[in-house]
Amino acid sequence: MLVKELKPRMSVTEITLEIVSKGEPRSFASAQGQGMVCNAAAKDESGEEISLTLWNDQVKEVEEGQTVKITNGWTSEFQGQLQISTGKMGTLEVVK
């Protein structure tokens, strides 16, 4: 799957992305608990970029320049920008 094929509120079976940049992690608290969240810019093999939301342990696992595979992810839209994350059921794996 490629970034250009993604639309908001879409299930993503599998996509491989390279981490271009990583923002500052920040803490959050909600009714479900608390943790860390961080935004990163990622690109697919065509070079098209998307915003990637990293949650909790993913914040520490992922670094700029690495390639990650997201399985059973989810897309959303925030302030007109398409975003991807693992959602509740997906997984993120650093592949190199």
How much is the pLDDT for 33?
Answer: 87
- CATH H-level superfamily of 3-94: Nucleic acid-binding proteins (2.40.50.140)
Question: What is the reported pTM?
Answer: 0.91
| Local mean pLDDT, 10-residue blocks, the chain (96 residues) | 95 97 94 92 97 96 97 94 93 95
**Beta partners for residue 21, in sequence order:** 41
Residue-level pLDDT at 32: 82
For the chain, the structural domain boundaries read 3-94
Report d(CA 44, CA 51) in Å as an integer: 11
